[in-house]
Amino acid sequence: MSTPQRIRRVVIVGGGTAGWMTAAPLAQKFSRQLPVDGGPPTEVVLIESPEIGTIGVGEATLPTIRAYNATLGLDGADFIKRTQASFKVGIEFKDWKQVGERFFHGFGDFGPAINNLSSIQYWLHLRAVAENMPPYEDWSTSSVMARQMRFTPPTGEAAAPTNAYSYAFHFDAGLYAAYLREYAMGHGAQRIEGTITEVHQRPEDGFVTGVTLKDGRRVEGDLFIDCSGMRALLIGDTMQVPFEDWSHWLPVNRAQAVPSKRVEPLTPYTTSTARTAGWQWRIPLQHRTGNGHVYCSGFISDEEAGRQLIAGLDSEALDSPRLIKFTTGVRRECWRKNVIAVGLSSGFLEPLESTSIQLIMDAVGRIIQFFPETDCAPVLADEFNRRMSTQYESIRDFIILHYKLTQRRDTEFWRHVSGMAIPERLAHQIELFRRSGRVAVYDPDGFQEPSWQSLMLGLGIQPEAYDPMVTVIDPRELLAHFARVRASIAQTVAAMPTHADFIRANVRAD
């Protein structure tokens, strides 16, 4: 067996959000490389096929997108302008618990912990002993900002209760990919336009050595990143890694997407509204609103789903709805031999909590962390695969939670999803919270305690108990503390600019 050597060329197959989100940090990293072997730096080559195109959706993100942008050194104002971005402090869920009810999943905590205990534990205690305790969302700065359509980034003292929030972005997926393309090519990445028709493997071990394009050109490499979307050209067709179907837990399998006109006031959050056999997203951008209806074809026709989508818009549609079909699930391995799947080729989870771009960012971070030599040591692939599976499964469970806890029984779809069997670990989570108000966090890269609390309280679980240590503080003292924090949050938010004004003031008008 030959000695492992430095990877000289990385080939990225696909130029959607996943492809360019992978190319940008790799190009940045290798443009600074001074190889110890004295050879040229590792090349990053991306192949994209204009005739196949990209999926063209994926516009809501989670707060870690900021760390990704910061690592690339992107200028915040320029990014917001070029991608028509808006700010996002969380997701509003309408009609999920019951028709006519809403709750908010905000980015951030419910005020600071007290004696190392989540403040929700104290709120549960006060709700049991005090009269007319206001809703827990009053202690979530992001929820209060959402109600008032205001936005400014956290400033000042990090530990202040009013700073216990975070934010992400909504952006135009096509513009973001183009923005990253410019960045990646500016850092030396090469772009090849063409459609791959053949993949070549080394006979002795099955490693991919190159691909042939429709026009006969051949592109060779040492490491191949499969960003070919749901086609899964390399990880599926070539490597034959099985796809684990999760549609028995998450049965929605179609979406129709349509842009509509911008709506005032500009909301600093995504909205998810439950419909009769799925749910509808609303994503506010500077130049338009993104909308889509995600549904299960076993319970509603495409025609009816399209009608519901259009009827649910709050501004004029700018196009006709576009149909997208999918199956929820994941590849058994995201890395096999010298092929690593990133993006939709690795799996799909419905965009209810905006997690796909997060999974892309984390996969790219892990590729850099576990960057191999030419032998692609199986132990690196094993660790990468272990972390990807953990993350996919923890997000999967978080999404199933939304369906399982609904109190809706008004359609066959809601009766089906509320009655379905769920993964054991999720059943434990729900029971733990119901009995004790406590939360188990299984994945350091997944949703943390405040997110689980928001969802379980928002969907109507009333914990029977709470942490007994909360009673070490006199309830009158606690009530006074909670009143102070609530007033301080309300006052801080009232002084913030509106979301639209903040964008206007912070984006250069050149």
Q: 105 or 125, CB closer to ligand FAD?
A: 105
Kindly state the smallest distance separating residue 164's Cβ from ligand FAD, in Å. 24
Residues 6+ positions from 95 with CB-CB distance below 8 Å: 101, 102, 273, 274, 275, 408
Q: Is-contact 447 400, C-beta < 8 A?
A: no
User: Is residue 327 near ligand FAD by the rule CB under 6 A?
Assistant: no
- Supply φ then ψ for residue 31, to 5 degrees: -70, -20
The residue (of 57 and 277) whose beta carbon lies closer to ligand FAD is: 57
Distance in Å, CB of 379 to ligand FAD, minimum:
26
Burial class of residue 109 in the structure, from the number of CB atoms within 10 Å of its CB (0-12 exposed, 13-18 middle, 19+ buried): buried
Strands 86-88 and 243-245: unpaired
Nearest Cα to Cα of residue 449 among 394, 487, 393, 388: 394
Stretch in the footprint of ligand FAD (CB under 6 A) among 113-121, 123-131, 343-351, 426-434: 343-351
**Tokens in use for 351?**
């965009």
Strands 243-245 and 329-331: antiparallel
* Minimal distance, residue 229 CB to ligand FAD, in Å: 3
Do residues 81 and 494 make contact, with C-beta atoms less than 8 angstroms apart? Answer: no
In the complex, the smallest distance separating the C-beta of residue 175 from ligand FAD, rounded to whole angstroms, is 13
Q: HSE on the CB side for 327, CA within 13 Å?
A: 14
111 versus 221: smaller Cβ distance to ligand FAD: 221
Residue with tokens 């080559």, as numbered in its chain = 45
Number of residues that bind ligand FAD (CB under 6 A): 39
The catalytic position among 81, 88, 97, 404 is 88
- Choosing from 25, 28, 43, 58, the residue that interacts with ligand FAD (CB under 6 A) is 58
User: Interface with ligand FAD by CB under 6 A: which range of 52-60, 384-392, 440-448, 495-503?
Assistant: 52-60
Residue 22 within binding range of ligand FAD, rule CB under 6 A: no
Tell me which of 10, 11, 15, 122 binds ligand FAD, using CB under 6 A: 15
Nearer to ligand FAD, 353 or 397 (CB): 353
Contact with ligand FAD (CB under 6 A) among 8, 9, 41, 52 = 52
**3-state class of 436 per DSSP?**
helix
When the beta carbons of 243 and 326 are compared against ligand FAD, the nearer one is 326
Q: Cβ of residue 191: shortest distance to ligand FAD, in angstroms?
A: 11
Interaction between residue 49 and ligand FAD (CB under 6 A):
yes
Interacting residues with ligand FAD between 158 and 197 (CB under 6 A): 173, 195-196
Q: Say whether residue 300 binds ligand FAD (CB under 6 A).
A: no
Query: Between 147 and 231, whose beta carbon lies closer to ligand FAD?
Result: 231
Residues in the chain, overall count? 510
Residue 326 interacting with ligand FAD (CB under 6 A): yes
Which residue of 10, 11, 23, 57 would you call a contact of ligand FAD, by CB under 6 A?
57
Of 25-33, 42-50, 66-74, 414-422, the segment contacting ligand FAD by CB under 6 A is 42-50
- Pattern 219-258, ligand FAD, x by CB under 6 A: --------xxx-x-x---------------------x-x-
- Retrieve residue 424's tokens: 């054991």
- The distance of closest approach from Cβ of residue 145 to ligand FAD in the complex, given in angstroms and rounded to an integer, is 20
Q: Which of residues 265-294 bind ligand FAD (CB under 6 A)?
A: 292
Nearer to ligand FAD, 364 or 439 (CB): 364
- Exposure string of 155-180, with b = 16+ CB inside 10 Å and e = fewer, is eeeeebbbbbbbbbbbbbbbbbbebb
Closest distance of CB 241 from ligand FAD, Å: 16
Identify which of residues 395 and 430 has a Cβ nearer to ligand FAD in the complex: 395
Rg (CA), the chain: 24
Strands (E), 319-418: 322-325, 329-331, 335-336, 339-341, 347-348
CA angle, 218 as apex, 214 and 224 as ends, to 5°?
A: 105
**Contact window for ligand FAD (CB under 6 A) among 216-224, 330-338, 350-358, 390-398:** 350-358
Strand pairing category for 243-245 and 223-226: unpaired
Question: Closer to ligand FAD at the Cβ: 53 or 265?
Answer: 53
Phi/psi at 458 (nearest 5 deg)? Answer: -60, -35
Place of tokens 């399209």: 306
Pairing state of beta strands 102-106 and 218-220?
A: unpaired
- Which among 200, 202, 198 is positioned nearest to 210, based on CA atoms? 200
341 part of the interface to ligand FAD, by CB under 6 A:
no
Helix residue spans in 318-377 (DSSP H): 356-369
Sole residue written with tokens 């379980």 = 456
Is residue 88 annotated as part of the catalytic site, yes or no?
Answer: yes
Rounded-to-integer distance, Cα 174 and Cα 77, Å = 18
Using the 8-state DSSP alphabet, how is residue 165 labeled?
B
> Tokens for 45?
């080559």
Binding status of residue 328 toward ligand FAD by CB under 6 A: no
Return the active site residues. Answer: 88
Residues that bind ligand FAD (CB under 6 A): 13-19, 47-49, 52-55, 57-61, 173, 195-196, 227-229, 231, 233, 255, 257, 292, 324, 326, 343-345, 351, 354, 356-357
